């Protein structure tokens, strides 16, 4: 996609600090001002797909598998004692780049940040939300 910044990075039209490049997924550093922790890494499918909802099985499998390998590398190379994987699909979820991406963020015992939402949604759903979800699979 011509206007996608991640597609431009993958094509080599924008600079990147690469962690790994594979056939169906890549991993690179976010812009320095947006890094949540040392080693914070973006994992992105090579094929342009807007979000989790539109990802094909190959892109999704490759992206999540690479995210796991990045998390393991964070433990080995950086001494991280945990990792958080963040993903937002859609503008209302806070997605800023319309290309599926996972933020893999290393964590240590002395971290002062939280990676869990501080507030609960006030949205009300008519009916039992999990029953409604289960109906989608019937």
Q: What does the mean pLDDT of the chain come to?
A: 92
* CA pair distance 43, 27, nearest whole angstrom: 4
DSSP 30: P
Measured in whole angstroms, the distance separating CA 110 from the mean position of its chain's CA atoms is: 23
Q: What tens digit of pLDDT does each residue of 59-88 get? A: 999 999 999 999 999 999 999 999 999 999
The residues with which 22 forms a beta bridge, in sequence order, are none
Each residue's pLDDT tens digit, 113-131: 667 777 787 888 899 888 9
CB-CB contact of 99 with 39 (8 Å): no
What's the rounded mean pLDDT across residues 44-72?
A: 97
Q: How many residues does the chain have?
A: 138
DSSP bridge partners of 106: 83
Work out the average pLDDT over 39-56. 96
Q: Residue 27 pairs with which residues in a beta bridge? A: 20, 43
Measure the CA–CA gap between 117 and 99, rounded to whole angstroms: 22
pLDDT of residue 26: 98
What domains, with CATH codes, occur in the chain? 5-118 (3.30.428.10)
Range picked from 30-44, 100-114, 116-130 for highest mean pLDDT: 30-44
| Proportion of the chain above pLDDT 90, given as a percent | 74
Region of residue 94 (left: phi > 0; alpha: psi -120 to 50; beta: else): left
- pTM for the whole structure: 0.89
- 16 band by pLDDT with thresholds 50, 70 and 90: very high
Q: What is the pLDDT of residue 113?
A: 67
CB pairs under 8 A, 24+ apart, for 72-76? 73/19, 74/39, 74/41, 74/104, 74/106, 75/106
């Amino acid at each position: 996609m011509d206007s996608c910044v991640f597609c431009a990075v993958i094509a080599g039209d924008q600079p990147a600090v690469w962690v790994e490049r594979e056939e169906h997924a890549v991993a690179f550093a976010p812009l320095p001002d947006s890094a949540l922790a040392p080693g914070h890494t973006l994992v992105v499918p090579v094929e342009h797909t807007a979000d989790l909802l539109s990802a094909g099985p190959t892109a999704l499998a490759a992206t999540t598998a690479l995210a796991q390998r990045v998390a393991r590398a964070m433990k080995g190379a950086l001494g991280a004692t945990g990792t958080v994987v963040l993903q937002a699909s859609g503008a209302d979820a806070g997605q800023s780049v319309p290309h599926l991406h996972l933020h893999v963020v290393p964590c240590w015992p002395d971290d002062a940040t939280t990676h869990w939402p501080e507030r609960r949604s006030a949205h009300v759903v008519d009916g039992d939300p999990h029953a409604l979800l289960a109906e989608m699979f019937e």
